[in-house]
Amino acid sequence: MTPATADNWTPPACWYEPAFSPKEIERTVKAWRRFGAGAPLVGGIGYVISDALEHRYKDGHPYKNYNLSKQGEGMFWAPVVNPNREGEPEATSCDRQPFWVDKGQTPDEPLAVSPEVLAEYAYDELPVPGTEIKMAPRGRSTVNLPTWVWLDKARFKKITVTASLPGTGLSATTTAEPEALHIDPGTQDATRFPASGACAIRKGGGIGEPYVRGKAERVPPCGVTYLRSTAADEAYAVRATLSWKIHWTSTMGEGGSLPSGSFGATQRIPVQEIQSVNR
């Protein structure tokens, strides 16, 4: 699975989501009191942590008796780290202790989970296929003769990922649709088709057009003609970058777009020059 990325944008490193009921936060605090009991060096550390947690969740600073009187009326929200960004500095930005949120309310917290946060997480999990183009002729190109480039329509179609928050009914589905293939021939001594280097999606899917016999003299809808050969044992690095349009919907009726993703791969192609003699 290849994580999705876009220029100047990445999915969130962490967020807050519902984690503990009042009874669960009570059990968690009491479990800390037993931590390290009788163990060398760490003995008593559980009491220190438990005292601090009881001050917050039991003694009224700000919660009293773990909010047990509100069991079923809300949850304590806690931080969650994006598993794809563990160890990054941004993953420590969700540093609030668990806080109470009434059922059906949206917390006043920019990093609280929302349909868009779920959509961004789903973006991070999009199984985008590798961008390995097909070329003809294979293996070696020839100066002044077009090299046809295409992508199989079966591999490059719309893909979706859904992220859900268990027990809440909240989910978001992120969809990626291929837009265009951009070809960088690896040298300025080349002519691209089309001239922009951006090959559009064909009607019915696929990019470019597979080469078949009899098309050698035609201009390919997607491809490149090299004007200079490569040296012996060398090759041009052809970069193929596929752009994807990203949008999302959610069970809350919300939706929108996310920054376009770009995914690329490099293939090497030697270019020969055929000498001819005029008589």
Asked if residue 137 has a cis previous peptide bond (ω within 30° of 0), the answer is yes
Who wins on pLDDT, 25 or 216? 25
* pLDDT given at position 108: 87
pLDDT for the residue 39: 60
Look over the chain and give the mean of its residue pLDDT values, rounded to a whole number.
Answer: 86
Confidence (pTM): 0.66
State the chain's maximal CA–CA distance in angstroms.
103
Of 131, 122, 214, 112, nearest to 176 (Cα)? 122
Q: Would you say residue 104 has pLDDT above 50?
A: yes
pLDDT of residue 125: 87
Which residue is it, tokens 């773990």?
A: 66
Q: Kindly give the pairing relationship between strand 134-136 and strand 146-151.
A: antiparallel
pLDDT at 278 over 60: no
pLDDT, greater one: 215 or 22: 22
pLDDT tens by residue, 56-88 = 999 999 999 999 999 999 999 999 998 888 999
Do the Cβ atoms of 189 and 176 come closer than 8 Å?
Answer: no
- Mean pLDDT (whole number) for 103-130: 85
Mean pLDDT across 171-191: 93
- Helix (H) / strand (E) element for 56: namely helix 45-57
Contact of 149 with 224, CB cutoff 8 Å: yes
Average pLDDT over residues 202-230: 88
